[in-house]
Amino acid sequence: MTSDWKDIKIQIMNILNSSSVDGTGFRDVLFVSGCPHRCEDCHNPETWDYDAGIQTTLGEVYDKLCQSSITNVTFSGGEPFEQSWALYHLALALKENTNKTIWIYSGYTYEQIVFDKEKRKLLELCDVLVDGKYEKDNTELNLRFKGSLNQRIIDIKASVKALKPVLFEMEF
């Protein structure tokens, strides 16, 4: 991988450090801009606009995500798979150069993602997918790492191997 990937542009809202609610353990969360899903009662409607936030480079994002060797990484939004090409290069750099795990949130389902060549390339570099739109009439209190009951927390490597979605087993 050449260093050219560091110049790739990405549109982001912000990076949240050391979150404990966006996946297991402590994670730095990259919130990207742009979402086509328009879920009713979405908690982050300000992220829907593809021009919201700031345009930056993968190099800057990568450096911020690597400031801590302890925290892992979560891609959220917005809809991360709308910027699959950029996030693929970021995920590749993280996997080649660090031992961070990557969770990724999406309004798309696992099945929709695996049948899209570009989205699938990004998916296969990540470890855990939380999939599906937020359904405000299909929720309950204290759901862990997801907003509604339809959403699944999926072990990506196990799913690719099994050719079907396999749920991620969490340690409590």
Is residue 160 involved in binding ligand SF4 (CB under 6 A)?
no
Site for ligand SF4 in 2-61 (CB under 6 A): 35, 37-39, 42, 44, 47
Is residue 75 involved in binding ligand SF4 (CB under 6 A)?
no
Contact region for ligand SF4 (CB under 6 A) — 3-11, 21-29, 72-80, 119-127? 72-80
Q: What are phi and psi of 81, to 5 degrees?
A: -75, -5
Is residue 77 involved in binding ligand SF4 (CB under 6 A)?
yes
Q: Of 27, 100, 119, 133, which lies in the binding site for ligand SF4, with binding defined by CB under 6 A?
A: 133
Place of tokens 């801009």: 33
Contact region for ligand SF4 (CB under 6 A) — 2-10, 77-85, 118-126, 153-161? 77-85
Q: What are phi and psi of 42, to 5 degrees?
A: -50, 140
Least CB distance to ligand SF4 at residue 147 (A): 7
Instruction: Please give the Cα distance from 2 to 158 (Å, whole number).
Output: 30
Residue with Cβ nearer ligand SF4 (26 or 50): 50
Least CB distance to ligand SF4 at residue 116 (A): 16
Place of tokens 């049948």: 115
C-alpha distances out from residue 122 to 45, 49, 67, 106, 119, Å: 24, 22, 23, 12, 5
Instruction: Please give the Cα distance from 23 to 46 (Å, whole number).
Output: 22
Is residue 81 involved in binding ligand SF4 (CB under 6 A)?
no
Taking a C-beta distance cutoff of 8 angstroms, is the pair 125, 133 a contact?
A: no
Least CB distance to ligand SF4 at residue 107 (A): 3
| Number of amino acids touching ligand SF4 (CB under 6 A) | 13
Partner residues linked to 105 by β-bridges: 130
Q: Which amino acid is at 64?
A: K
- Contact residues for ligand SF4 (CB under 6 A)? 35, 37-39, 42, 44, 47, 77-79, 107, 133-134
